[in-house]
Amino acid sequence: MNRALKDLPKPSSHWFYGEAHHFFNRETVFQTMEKMSEEFNGLWKGKTGPVIERMFITKVKYAKEILNTAEPKDSFGYSFLKLWLGDGLLLSYGPKWFRNRRLLTPAFHFDILKPYTKLYSDCANALVAKWQARLENGDGNQIELHDDISLMTLDSLLKCIFGLHTECQNEKVEHPYLQAVQRVTYLLIQRFVNPILLSPFIYYLTPNSWSYLYNIHKLHSFTRKVIKERQALLKAKPDYTKHRRYLDFIDILLSARDENGKGLSDQEIADEVDTFMFEGHDTTAAGISFALYNLAKYPEIQEKCREEVMEVLGESDTVSWNDLSKLTYLTKTLKESLRVSPPVPSIQREITEERVLSNGMRLEKGVAIFLSIYCLHRDPDVWENPGKFDPERHAKKGDKDAFSFVPFSAGPRNCIGQNFALNEMKATIAIILKNFVLKEVEGFKPKPSMQITLKSLNGLPILIEPVA
């Protein structure tokens, strides 16, 4: 046992599963986490299996002391992602992380992001046309949000990262990239919660591992193919980027240079593309999907957002860069949705040098930490009546601890693409609200599940009606 954790309380333990058995029921994971947070005052320990022990943090006052550092992801917890995402910004640390973070930061400068708003609008309008056709064809007005929104965010990323204009939103068969992402994330969670499968020796003898490796190959084949095509194009036409209205993410990766004139290697480019495809697609889809569901759940808030959208957009069916800053109430509503339904429910860190918390606890090198964003966003010490959906919580800047609202993490290792994601979410939701009234499905209640990104085990359906 790590000496730093020996005095921490813990829930009841199983001889083999450790404390992991408390989270086997995927329908009650969040309720269990909240219950433990209250019981142990936001700080406790637990094992996932007979050996692997970590500290659980669910209170803002403790989380801020970890998030405010550049400590890397938990080397064990995130090691399962390594085969897929390689050494991109999400998983790298130390000098490599600092160098590549510095090289990639210009890719998310406002001047780069501005032209993307037109692409967000194009993708959102393609979704609107798809839903309108569904209503006109008499196919019913019930929509499964995550399916359609995932395709839309994939469409958007393909345009913004690679400059690829596809018809993936209208394909009859599910896009192979989307299929592979969903399968890989499901298998990763299945492995993480089952101590028997934590051993690589055992895992790679199971059918799950064969499916995992097959789908990883599909994902890599897709991204490598597009990267090679762009490299060949730039080699044949060196002035290609000079005559474009905007730069794709891959153009910036291929042209990035550090202070010594050295660029990213082919492997580094592939790792960053895989990382951004994963983080920019699935997390954004979850954020938009739950925001639309919450708008359907709270019709008065929805109507107030729609009135603002109509006033800002007028007759236009495109959200401009300047429009984004005018959608103030929609922004507050989106932030509240990200609070109650964080797209990434938890993150993990690993202590690389000894630290002392404000409560006097000494953390030794190697301590693994599990941070529940879901619980931080419900910390009653920070959020009054945390169960209430109230956009006005976000009306004033600076009235709450900066680490109380962390849908994109916080501190030095915050999400580099958070402005990209927020802009896409706002533009998409605005265009949908301009065209449709969203309503709840009677009797439906989602069953949120703590996967890599937030999912509902029983889907996320809503009803749509054309705006009168």
Q: Which of 216-230, 234-248, 443-457 has the lowest mean pLDDT?
A: 234-248
Cα gap 194→208, rounded to integer Å: 12
pLDDT band at 414 (very low <50, low <70, confident <90, very high): very high
Number of separate domains in the chain = 1
**Per-chain mean pLDDT for the chain:** 89
266-287 confidence digits (pLDDT tens): 999 999 999 988 888 889 999 9
**pLDDT score of 240 more than 70:** no
Cα gap 22→32, rounded to integer Å: 7
Helix (H) or strand (E) holding 47: strand 43-47
Residue whose C-alpha is closest to residue 143's, from 443, 441, 393 = 441
pLDDT at 245: 61
pLDDT at 246: 66
HEC string of 123-181 equals HHHHHHHHHHHHHHCCCCCEEEHHHHHHHHHHHHHHHHHHCCCCCHHHCCCCCHHHHHH
422-442 confidence digits (pLDDT tens): 999 999 999 999 999 999 999
pLDDT at 50: 59
255 contacts 241 by C-beta, under 8 angstroms: yes
Domain residues for the domain of 240 are 3-466
Cα gap 389→376, rounded to integer Å: 15
355-404 confidence digits (pLDDT tens): 888 888 888 888 889 999 999 999 999 999 999 999 999 998 777 888 99
pTM value is: 0.92
375 marked as binding residue:
no
Beta strand extents in 282-434 (DSSP E only) = 346-350, 355-356, 362-363, 368-372
Cα gap 439→286, rounded to integer Å: 18
CATH assignment at residue 444: 1.10.630.10
pLDDT at 318: 96
